[in-house]
Copies of this chain bind each other. A is one copy, B any other.
Amino acid sequence: MGGDHGAPEVVPGAVKWAREHPADEVILVGDEPLVRSLATEAPPNVSFVHGPEVVGMDEHPARALARKKQSSIRVATELVKSGQADGVLTAGHTGAGMAAGVLILGTLPGIDRPALAVQLPGGKPFLLLDIGANPDSTAENLAQYARMGAIFAERVMSIPNPRVALLSIGEEKGKGDARIAKATELIDQTDLNFIGNVEGRDLTKFVADVIVCDAVLGNVVMKFFEGLSRYIFDLVSAEFHGSLRGRLSGLLFLPSRARLVKKFDAEVVGGSPLLGVNGTMLITHGSARRRMIWYGMEATARTIREGVNALIAESLGISGQAGAEDAGDGREAEGN
């Protein structure tokens, strides 16, 4: 129900996906009369659950979630919790989605804090996490993000033996602040394909597949990526709409423009997985239209089918790393 465009874009995207995947079941959660009216020509594998309330962009996520028992995000996440659904995709308020994941689903045994991970377009895709789930992360958290990100990259992004890196100042291993130095030690003890640090300038060199950082850093990088790439393309575009010479240049550039637009197409990423919660949850862009919803459904289904959460739990259970001692009882891993 939430997001910039709401049900009129979410429903058609999900219905199209359902039609193309008749063996899967799609449950649309929202204001049922509205959703039904938008889900014209819905195939038999689409069902409806009523959840008419919306968490507004200006609301405090956890408080809104507690008060609005009929909010679509809460009702949908509870379907996952009760086992009636295998995963949930939301285009609503990102904070409310994360709060629903943490408060309703809880974290996986051995996981202290979940992380929100995004695939950045522009070249060879790579996974950046955390981009906002956990503002005050510890070195132990970062080490768990590395493990979770590697599993997602391998299983959902189909990158064998993904290269894992910490985002920091300087390429020298362990260089950065105290948290990064400690996380380096922790990740070094794992069997991950850990390549040490990458710097800001390496982000467009695609030298790593999974890039781990704290939430503030990840969030700034993700939004700066969006903002700066749009800013530069807008500057170029303005030149193509200026003088006659510029306009002619722009006309000739059209096939090139199409290639670049395709390269920077964020919609095909589909959605960002909230890794570490006890259930599959993906959060897509608030501005997602039906095409991006379709890709979000695809990413959610793939995350479920590949059993990403079971692999994360298994990876923590069989290793001697951060969180392993707590595996199975659900207590916090802090201090390991």
List A residues at the B interface (Cβ < 8 Å): 122-123, 132, 135-136, 167-169, 176-178, 180, 199-205, 213-217, 219-233, 235-236, 239-240, 242-243, 245-246, 248-253, 255-256, 259-260, 263
A255 to B256, alpha carbons, bound, how many Å? 19
The reply to whether B219 and A221 contact each other, CB–CB distance below 8 Å, is no
Would A203 and B219 count as touching, CB distance under 8 A?
Answer: no
A96 to chain B, nearest CB (A): 14
In the complex the two chains form, is B228's CB within 8 Å of A228's CB?
A: yes
Q: Is the CB of B255 within 8 A of A177?
A: no
A205 touches B227 (CB 8 A): yes
Contact (Cβ within 8 A) A199 B177: no
The residue of chain B having its C-beta at the shortest distance from the C-beta of A239 within the complex is B256
When C-beta atoms are compared, the residue in chain B nearest to A178 turns out to be B136
Cross-chain contact A223 with B252 (CB below 8 angstroms) = no
Which of A122, A232, A255 gathers the greatest number of chain B CB atoms within 10 Å? A232
Dominant SS at the A interface? helix
- A307 CA / B9 CA spacing, docked (Å): 58
Residue of chain B at shortest CB distance from A225: B228
Q: Give chain B nearest CB distance to A168 CB in angstroms.
A: 6
Q: Report the bound CA distance from A232 to B245 in whole Å.
A: 22
Say how far A129's CB is from chain B's closest CB, in angstroms.
14
5 contacts between A and B (CB under 8 A): A136-B178, A169-B220, A176-B216, A201-B223, A236-B256
Q: How many copies does the complex hold?
A: 2
**B-chain residues with CB within 8 Å of residue A203 when the two chains form the complex:** 224, 227-228
Contact among B136, B225, B249 with A177 in the assembled complex (CB-CB below 8 Å): B136
CB <8 Å contact, A256 and B246: yes
Compute how far the CA of A167 lies from the CA of B201 in the bound complex, rounded to whole angstroms: 19
Q: Find the B residue at minimum CB distance from A131.
A: B169
Determine whether the beta carbon of A216 is less than 8 Å from that of B180: yes
Measured CB to CB, the closest approach of chain B to A241, in angstroms, equals 11
Q: A135-B169, A200-B220 are in contact. Are A253 and B228 (CB under 8 A)?
A: no
A215 CA to B169 CA in the complex, in Å? 8
Q: Shortest distance in angstroms between A32's beta carbon and chain B's nearest beta carbon?
A: 33
Our pick among B204, B223, B243, B255 for the contact of A199 (Cβ within 8 Å) is B223
A249 touches B246 (CB 8 A): no
Selected contact of A222 from candidates B200, B217, B255, CB within 8 Å: B200
Q: Given the known inter-chain contacts A177-B215, A177-B216, please indicate yes or no for A252 contacting B256, CB distance below 8 A.
A: no
Q: Is A224 a contact of B227 with CB atoms below 8 Å?
A: no
Contacting residues, chain B, for A135 (C-beta < 8 A): 169, 176-178
The answer on a CB contact under 8 Å between B216 and A217 is: yes
Give Cα A259 to B228, complex, Å. 17
A135→B239 CA distance, assembly (Å): 40
Contact A214 B177 (CB under 8 A): yes
What residues on B are CB-neighbors of A240 within 8 Å? Answer: 256
Q: Which residues of B contact A215 (CB under 8 A)?
A: 169, 177
